[in-house]
A = this chain, B = another copy of it.
Amino acid sequence: MERKDRYHIAILGATGAVGRRMLSTLERRGVPVGEVRLLASPRSAGTRVSFRGQELVVEAVRPESFDGVDIALFSAGASASEEWAPVAVERGAVVIDNSSAFRMHDDVPLVVPEVNPHALAHHRGIIANPNCSTIQLVVVLHALREFGLEHVTISTYQAVSGMGQRAVDALLEEVRRTEAGERDVTTVFPVVKQDRHVPMAFNVIPQCDIFLDNGYTKEEMKLVNESRKILEMPSLRVTPTAVRVPVLYGHAESVAVRFREPVTVAEVRERLANAENVVLVDDPASCAYPHPRMVEDRGETFVGRIRQDLEDPRTILLFIVADNLLKGAAWNAVQIAEKLIEMAG
C-alpha cells in the first residue's frame, strides 16, 4: 500500500453488527480516512448510516465499488468474502476480512496486532481477522509466552451477538415471550440454518457453530487452529469447549494454562499489567474481576481471577473477557488497518 495523507476505505457488510462497529471504530480511533464507501448486499442497499456528522448511503456491492479503495474491511460472511475479496484485491484494495474464509490459508496472514503484526509484511492482498473468541485468548497468552506455553484448557461463555444483530434481537424476543409465560420459545439458536433449535433465554447451549466429524464444533476447532497460527506455535495443546450464554455483548473465557516451568500469580499479574491493550481487573478481596457487562464498547481485553492451580505450580487459571464485536471483530480489523497505514510508504 502506498503512503497517503488519507486512505479510501470500503466496508462490505456495513449494515451488520460488526460492519456498523467498523465504521464507529474508524471514527473513534482517528484513522486518516478519505472517502468511505459503505457496501452491502442489494437487500440492504439504501440504508443510511452517519459518519463524522455526514449521512452515508449503503450501496449494493459491485466490482467497481472497489475502484480507488485502499483498504476494504469485510464482514459479510464467508461466501461473500470468497466472492468479493479477489475482486477487491484485483481492483487494488487490501482486504481485511472478518470471515473464516481465508483464515487458515497459508498465504493469508491471520493477525492480532498486539501479537503478530510482523505477519502483515508478507500479505498478498488479503489479511484475515481471527475469530472473536480466539483474539482475546491470544492477546493474553502472548503476554505470558515467555513462561513457555504448553497446554491451554478453555471453556467459553459466548454472547449471542457473535451470531449477528439478528441473534441479539432473537434473544430479546425469546426473553420477552418466556417472561410472558410462553413455553419452549425457540428462534435461531444455536445455529440459524439448523433444523433443531434450542431455547436461548435463561439457558446455556454447548454448541457454537456447526459440529464437525470429530465431535468438536467449528468454533472449538477455530480456537485450536487459529491460536496456533497466530502464536506461531503449531504444536500448542488447546482443549476447547465453546458454549453460548444469554449475554448480548462480551465473550468470557475460563482458561487454565499450563506452562513449562512453575509461574507465580505475581509474575502473571505483572506481565498482564504491562501488556498492550490488556486491562487487569483482579482483586478478589474487593470482588473485582472482569465480566461481560463491564467490557461493552471497550477495545481492550480484560483479565482477572488469576490464581495458581491448587496442586500444580505450572498451571495458572484466568478469566478473560472482551467485547466480541470490538476486540473480537471490528476493533481488531481497524487496528490491522492502522498497522498497514503505519507500514505504508
Contact = CB atoms under 8 A, between A and B. Distances in A.
A309 B216 CA distance: 10
A256 B153 contact: yes
Interface stretch (A71-79, A80-88, A91-99, A280-288): A280-288
B309 A157 contact: no
Counting contact residues on chain A (CB < 8 A from B), the size range is: 35 or more
A204 B291 contact: yes
A246 B191 CA distance: 20
A247 B202 contact: yes
Interface stretch (A26-34, A54-62, A108-116, A310-318): A310-318
A203 B295 CA distance: 11
A176 interface: yes
Copies of chain A in the complex: 2
A198 interface: yes
A142 interface: no
A293 B175 CA distance: 13
A213 B145 CA distance: 28
Given A239-B317, A256-B239, A305 B206 contact: yes
Interface string A152-170: 0101010000000000000
Contacts of A345: none
Interface in A306-344: 306-312, 315, 317, 319
Contacts of A224: 310
Contact of A284 (B176, B191, B215, B315): B215
Contacts of A311: 237
Interface string A235-262: 0011101010111101010101000000
Q: Which of A290, A304, A307, A315 has the most CB of B within 10 A?
A: A307
Contact of A157 (B204, B237, B287): B204
A289 B191 CA distance: 14
Q: Which of A190, A202, A286 has the most CB of B within 10 A?
A: A202
A105 interface: no
A52 interface: no
Given A196-B286, A241-B319, 10 more contacts: A157-B204, A176-B179, A199-B291, A207-B287, A214-B310, A241-B254, A241-B256, A241-B317, A243-B254, A254-B254
